[in-house]
């Protein structure tokens, strides 16, 4: 019962964040969720909870797909192309980690995505200044 209540709260909180978010914040939310799911997948892998691992990796792949398909190549130019290549690399690494059950591959993806997320956040800071 408690688990269901917590899940309902988390869902409501996510919906609230998304409804009030602009495009920049939506991407930031995607990065946050991606990093969280990569962490949880790694933890699940270590715990040998392969059902949870698969669920978190599936969510990670979905988020990577959303990030890749939201790129604006016309306005983004080389940056959009580089990000598309990065998301494709990350997707392949996540799939590889899923098959090999090697956490180091997830750690590598997490590190790179965290750098991109930090850069994305700094764009907001620069705009606000």
Write out pLDDT tens, residues 54-106: 999 999 999 999 999 999 999 889 999 999 999 999 999 999 999 999 999 99
- What pLDDT, on a 0 to 100 scale, did the predictor assign at position 126? 55
Long-range CB pairs of 56-65 (<8 Å, 24+ gap) are: 57/94, 57/97, 57/98, 59/33, 60/34, 60/94, 61/91, 61/94, 61/95, 63/30, 63/33, 63/34, 63/37, 64/34, 64/90, 64/91, 64/94, 65/91
In a domain, 70, yes or no: yes
Which range of residues forms the domain containing residue 60?
A: 23-128
Indicate if the pLDDT at residue 19 is higher than 50.
Answer: yes
- Give the mean pLDDT of 98-123: 94
Question: Tokens in use for 60?
Answer: 């990670």
Mean pLDDT, rounded, for 9-30:
65
SS3 call for 8: helix
16 has a pLDDT exceeding 60: no
Number of folded domains in the chain? Answer: 1
- Average pLDDT over every residue of 36-48: 96
Q: Which two tokens stand for residue 125?
A: 């800071």
Give the pTM. Answer: 0.80
Residue 109: inside a domain, yes or no?
yes
* CATH of residue 27: 1.20.120.340
32 assigned to some structural domain? yes
């Amino acid at each position: 019962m408690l688990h269901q209540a917590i899940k309902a709260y988390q869902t409501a909180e996510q919906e609230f964040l998304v409804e009030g978010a602009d495009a920049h914040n939506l991407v930031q939310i995607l990065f946050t969720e991606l990093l969280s799911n990569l962490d949880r997948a790694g933890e699940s892998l270590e715990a040998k909870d392969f059902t949870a691992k698969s669920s978190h990796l599936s969510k990670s792949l979905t988020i990577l797909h959303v990030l890749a398909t939201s790129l604006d190549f016309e306005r983004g130019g080389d940056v959009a192309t580089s990000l598309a290549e990065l998301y494709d690399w990350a997707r392949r690494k996540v799939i590889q980690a899923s098959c090999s059950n090697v956490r180091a591959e997830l750690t590598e993806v997490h590190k790179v995505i965290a750098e991109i997320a930090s850069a994305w956040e700094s764009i907001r800071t620069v705009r606000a200044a």
